[in-house]
Chain A
Amino acid sequence: MNETQTFQLDGEDIPFAPGQSIMQAATAHGAYIPHLCWHPDFAAHGSCKLCTVKVNGRFGSSCTMAAQAGMSVENRTAELDDKRRTLLQMLFVEGNHFCPSCEKSGNCALQATAYELKMMSPHFDMFYPDRPVDASHPDVLLDFNRCIMCSLCVTASAEVDGKNIFYMGGRGLLGRRVHVSSESGRLGDTNFALSDRAASICPVGVILPKRRGFAVPIGERKYDKAPISAQVKERV
């Protein structure tokens, strides 16, 4: 008989199957570990570092680290949440994240995570990078101002849609963002379709359908109803 293996997440026993990451096991159990670039449908990317936990006293990315029996994992401690908040603040000042005018507001994982971690201000000086939008596609608008470089659209387009429309590119703090792989660099010159998996994967407001504006009233949007930490299972 194979006894269920468990590890401890903030003192709670979390069961896991061999091969699962700490993040996968915690999510399946309904426990929230803050994250942005991880998505249950895809292999871990391990780039946002928001899911950093302390495993037996050492820092590690919970999305890439395999769960092992008897691990003691710290997750929502003040120390870790302080570091996560700083990572969020850096993301907010490196892009142009103006929630009042963003169609994704209320349904945005970046915003909801910032609420969860009680981010009251950007803390750092703003960069205000100059990133033009791409409205060349008939059905989809790209607003690069909000890109957090999670690369979920890159993965979805390559692995699910088989189109390889997006890639991470550019150099430097302000140049690096998602790009479009057509020769012109414009989405309108690709075979991207609104029905693509990549069209609905963006956790923030970069990839948006056209002709749909603020359809859900304030108060009824995804994260108006409950904080992101209370919607772990819904996101799977």
Chain B
Amino acid sequence: MTTAMNAPVNLAAPPPRKLRVATTSLAGCFGCHMSLLDIDERILTLLDLVEFDRSPITDIKHCGPCDLGIIEGGLCNAENVHVLREFRNHCKIILALGACAINGGLPAQRNHLDLRDVLEEVYQTEVGLSHGGIPNDPELPLPLNKVHPIHEVVKVDYFLPGCPPPADAIWKLLTDLLAGRTPTLGHGLMHYD
């Protein structure tokens, strides 16, 4: 008969604290988040090691103290800058994930155009649209004059290029970081497209 007295005592160290990870998509298309989900069943292994803070996956609205902040997308409006600064203030490590976070990407294609011309064409002069006027609701974040990559506003610790970065590259980078190694990508995982 087993009693509490002679029950085996677990002398092993307690499991390490799970690292807290926050993610967000700024001026991006959520493609990088889709690529994160493309790690498939490895997400179960990941969830043994990390827990998600603010993220589209958890729907938590604000970032608490985190070990890693993953930023998809560049900066196209004032709210993007606000969110990015919130991440930088709360995360020990910031990762720029994907082409848009790194060089502005597709949203930055508007950078050689005048912002007012763009808004007027989209909301007022373009044939077939309702011509409702340029939206001016105070709830809407103001667009920036140009789209910027995130490293122009905050210090970024790691960059993972790709449009989107392959799931295997995201996995390689996350597992390297979790193991305390400097992340490296070999040929085949590094893509700018």
- Where the two chains meet, the residues of A that have a C-beta atom closer than 8 Å to any C-beta of B are 92, 96-102, 105-106, 111, 114-115, 118, 120-123, 125-126, 128-131, 218, 224, 226-227
Contacts and interface: CB of A to CB of B under 8 A. Distances in A.
B111 A128 contact: yes
Nearest to A224: B188
Interface of B: 96, 99, 102-106, 108-109, 111-112, 146, 148-149, 151-152, 156, 158-161, 163, 184-185, 187-188, 190-193
Given A99-B192, A120-B159, A128 B187 contact: no
Contacts of A101: 106, 109
Nearest to A230: B187
Contacts of A123: 151
B92 to A, nearest CB: 19
Contacts of B108: 98, 126, 128
A100 B104 contact: no
B159 A125 contact: no
Nearest to A221: B193
B151 A121 contact: yes
Given A98-B106, A101-B106, A115-B187, A126 B192 contact: no
Contacts of A118: 184-185, 190
Contact of A130 (B106, B112, B152): B112
Closest 6 CB pairs of A and B: A99-B192, A100-B163, A121-B159, A120-B159, A130-B112, A128-B111
B192 A114 contact: yes
Contacts of A105: 192-193
Nearest to B102: A121
A123 B155 CA distance: 10
B161 A120 contact: yes
A126 B188 CA distance: 26
A224 B151 CA distance: 28
Contact of A128 (B104, B156, B193): B104
Given A99-B192, A100-B193, A226-B187, A126 B109 contact: no
Contacts of A121: 96, 102-103, 149, 151, 156, 159, 161
Nearest to A129: B112
27 contacts: A92-B103, A98-B108, A99-B99, A100-B99, A100-B105, A100-B163, A100-B192, A105-B192, A118-B184, A118-B185, A118-B190, A120-B159, A120-B161, A121-B96, A121-B149, A121-B159, A122-B151, A125-B152, A126-B108, A126-B148, A126-B152, A128-B108, A128-B111, A129-B112, A130-B112, A131-B112, A226-B187
Contacts of A122: 102-103, 149, 151
A233 B109 CA distance: 37
B13 to A, nearest CB: 35
B51 to A, nearest CB: 27
Contacts of A218: 193
A126 B146 CA distance: 11
A94 to B, nearest CB: 12
Given A98-B103, A122-B149, A126-B148, A111 B192 contact: yes
A130 B149 CA distance: 17
